[in-house]
Structure 1
Amino acid sequence: MLTELIEMIKDTFAPEVEVTGDTAIKTDLNLDSFEIINLIGMLEDKYNIDINALDIVSLITVHDICNYIENKKLS
């Protein structure tokens, strides 16, 4: 799932940036709040999950997002 998530983020938001699991969404990719909301919507649609607005602040890196999605799919 991590590779799929990296490709989605890279293709949509940062084609010129090397994206890894340790890439910080806000600081490394310079995503603004609108782009982060767009990303959250894409993730909710793609993985059929609901992402709690309060949880967003803890999703710092691509790896954090991947772990969050995996945990949501298990619950």
Structure 2
Amino acid sequence: MLTFGLNEDRQYAEMLSLCRYCRCLFWRSLGHPCIADQCPEFRARLQEAGGITPPSPVPPSAFLKFFSL
């Protein structure tokens, strides 16, 4: 199936991301001070549990759903 136009990930200049560890919503270009980076003990527990996973992108439609009733 062919689709035309831009997909949602490429329509916006800046994407929000959600950290899976501290549940912080942040602009990817600015980053954020995550507990995984600040606390060596927490980082070691993450490594034992299978490693550190990157933050997941939050498209605008998902962001708006955070505020829907």
Query: Normalised by the size of structure 2, how large is the TM-score?
Result: 0.30
Answer 1 or 2: which has greater helix percent.
1
Q: Which has the higher contact order (CA 8 A, sep 6+)?
A: 1
For the pair shown, which has the larger CA radius of gyration, 1 or 2?
Answer: 2
Answer 1 or 2: which has greater strand percent.
2
Query: Normalised by the size of structure 1, how large is the TM-score?
Result: 0.28
